[in-house]
Amino acid sequence: MDIDDVVDTGRYPLSDPAGLHEVVAGVRAALAADGCCVLPDFVRPDRQELLRAEGAALAPHAHHDVETVNVYNTAPDDTLPADHPARVPMQRGNAFVARDRIPADAVIHRIYTAPAFRRFVAACFGLPAVHELADPLSGLVLNVVAPGREHPWHFDTNEYTVSMLTQGPEAGGVFEYCPGIRSAGTENLDAVRAVLDGRGAPRRLELRPGDLQLFLGRYSLHRVSPVAGGTARHTAIFAYSERPGVVGTVARTRQLFGRVTPAHLAAQDRAVRVDGLLI
């Protein structure tokens, strides 16, 4: 199965730089204006049921562990003022299926590893190149939000995020976001707190399976609202980095996936040696 069998390359000509130019320009304009861009039917309509079914078959492998978090994913801190956004506890109820459980020939894995897709992502975000994560678990994941659960308000660690709904919920499970609510220089705590308290005015995305979403998640507060009805919401998250060799920390990996791999332990050893603290 070639990338052309999966992606609608008539509409999104990944391997034709001249033809793709206009798409990239549109994405950049949307990101600049809104911090977000959705490319409808990025996966060919006749492959969208396969996309959904593959995700549904993988979902039972998700690591479930409802975690109490705050919007910044920081440790609880009683010394912060009572109205600080970090004082609002939330339940992170989403669960991830790790990359090593996703078959290499699955639609989302084909897209993730396709060099033409990587070049497209880099162009959209104005980067010279992006690389697959060296992390065997977190480079590509399926994000599962089961009925009754939610993926609460947060910022991403990465400046940019690429994702794709593979299965929509019956109700709820809406992607909501507040573009540019903070910047590298300003946390804008009052505005963040207002959103957490339900006093904000987030934008809402109507996503359909097979749509590609490009998003500036480090400065945009966002969440997946509680899923209702009987069907889980599934999203593929394609993670790339600007430098090669990126591996998650042992602590965070254990939290997200319930396990680590030898690659995580080796990366931790290397980090210690670079610091020079234990030798």
Ligand X SMILES: O=C(O)CCC(=O)C(=O)O
Among residues 13 and 168, whose Cβ is nearest to ligand X?
A: 168
Binding partner of residue 138 among ligand X, Fe ion, none, CB under 5 to 8 Å per kind?
Answer: none
**What would the two tokens of residue 178 be?**
């507040």
Q: In 10 A of CB 196, how many CB atoms?
A: 19
What is the spatial distance between Cα 180 and Cα 191, in angstroms, rounded to a whole number? 11
Which partner from the list Fe ion, ligand X, none does 237 bind, CB cut-off 5 to 8 Å by kind? ligand X
The answer to whether 120 touches 27, Cβ cutoff 8 Å, is no
Which residues of 21-75 form beta strands (DSSP E)?
Answer: 36-39, 67-69
Parallel, antiparallel or unpaired: strands 175-178 and 203-205: antiparallel
Look at residue 224 and give the partner it binds from Fe ion, ligand X, none, a contact being a CB closer than 5 to 8 Å depending on partner kind: ligand X
Output the residue with the shortest Cβ distance to Fe ion: 156
Tell whether residue 9 is a contact of ligand X (CB under 6 A). no
Q: Which amino acid is at 53?
A: A
Indicate the Cα dihedral angle 17, 22, 23, 29, nearest 10°.
130
Closest by alpha carbon to 143, among 90, 94, 84? 94
Binding mask 204-243 for ligand X (x = CB under 6 A): ------------------x-x----------x-x------
Which of 25-33, 44-52, 69-77, 213-221 is the region at the interface with Fe ion (rule: CB under 5 A)?
213-221
Using CB atoms, what's the residue nearest to ligand X? 235
Identify which of residues 161 and 253 has a Cβ nearer to Fe ion in the complex: 161
Which CB sits closer to ligand X, 59 or 80? 59
Q: Per-residue string for binding with Fe ion, 141-160, x by CB under 5 A?
A: ---------------x----
Q: Which of 131, 140, 151 is nearest to 237 (CA)?
A: 140
Question: Which one of Fe ion, ligand X, none interacts with residue 187, CB within 5 to 8 A by kind?
Answer: none
Token pair for residue 135?
A: 């992390």
Count the site residues for ligand X by CB under 6 A.
Answer: 9
Give CA 162 to chain center in angstroms.
6
Contact partner at residue 52 from ligand X, Fe ion, none, CB < 5 to 8 Å by partner kind? none
In angstroms, give the least distance from the CB of 244 to Fe ion.
23
The nearer residue to ligand X, 158 or 188, going by C-beta atoms, is: 158
Residues 111 to 170: which contact ligand X by CB under 6 A? Answer: 143, 151, 156, 163
Closest CA to 98 of 200, 237, 4, 247: 237
Contact 167, 139 (CB under 8 A): no
Cα(163)–Cα(151) distance, integer angstroms: 14
Distance of CA 15 to the CA centre of its chain: 24
CA dist 262 → 103, 167, 250, 269, 270 (Å): 20, 32, 10, 11, 12
The site string for ligand X over 168-197 (x = CB under 6 A, - otherwise) reads -------x----------------------
Rounded least distance, CB 119 to ligand X, Å: 23
Map the footprint of Fe ion across residues 155-194, applying CB under 5 A: 156
**Residue numbers of the site for ligand X (CB under 6 A)?**
143, 151, 156, 163, 175, 222, 224, 235, 237
Residues that bind Fe ion (CB under 5 A): 156, 217
